[in-house]
Each structure stands twice: as C-alpha cells, then as structure tokens.
Homo-oligomer: A and B are copies of this chain.
C-alpha cells in the first residue's frame, strides 16, 4: 500500500520551472486522492532519473511540499504523503478523524499509567503553549 508509481508529466518547454511542475502535480494527485496518506514517494534520485533531471530539482520540489505540510521528508528514510487535512465538506468525517486521533492518544497515555487529570492538564498546557509560541505559525 505504501508503494505506488507516481506518474508525472514534465513539459520542458512549458516555461514553468520543473520543480513547480512537480509540486503542482503531486499536489493535484493528493487532492484528487490518487496519492494517499502513507504513500511513499520515489526517492529524489529515483524520480530525478525517471524525469531526466537533476535530483536537486526534485529535492527542491519535495522541500516546498514539505513546507506546505503535504509530504514529510525524512533524511535517510524517504518521503511520505502526510495525512490530508480533513475536507470541510463532511462534518462527520472531520469529527471521526479527530476522534480516531484522540483515541489513539488517550489510550496510549492511559496505558502508560497517566491519570485522566494529568492528561487533561497536559493537553490544556500544550494548547496554551501553542497559542503563545505561535507568532510565526499559521
């Protein structure tokens, strides 16, 4: 499930920079569901070879996608599609997504023996810390 082909069409004469074309097409494939969370993208070198471009060009595209939180690049490991932000369309999906995430967190915390009070307090603290720390964020 984590391996897919990733078909990209690069037009070398289009005037659009190659890295921009890569960014756009990956973005589009994520949006359309062709690429799904956890899918592993080709390595910068593999994709570069396939597209006949320098791997730094692919790396540049990956960096932009990484900064946009669309993919997660990990040195020595590879690059992966991150979870897509839940579409606003269905409130239900959105809720279930948060529910699943929260359930994983809560059950793990409880398993490690933390009390509900501790958990609630820590969540509160972290949320507060985020408010104060986010001058540059979002």
By a beta-carbon cutoff of 8 Å, the part of chain A in contact with chain B is 9, 13, 15, 17, 28-29, 31-34, 38, 69, 72, 74, 76-77, 80, 82-83, 85-86, 94, 97-99, 101-116, 118-120, 122-127, 130-131, 137-138
Contact = CB atoms under 8 A, between A and B. Distances in A.
B105 A102 contact: yes
Interface of chain A, main secondary structure: helix
A123 B101 contact: no
A29 B126 contact: no
Q: How many copies does the complex hold?
A: 2
Nearest to A122: B102
Contacts of A118: 98
A88 B102 CA distance: 25
B15 A72 contact: yes
B98 A114 contact: yes
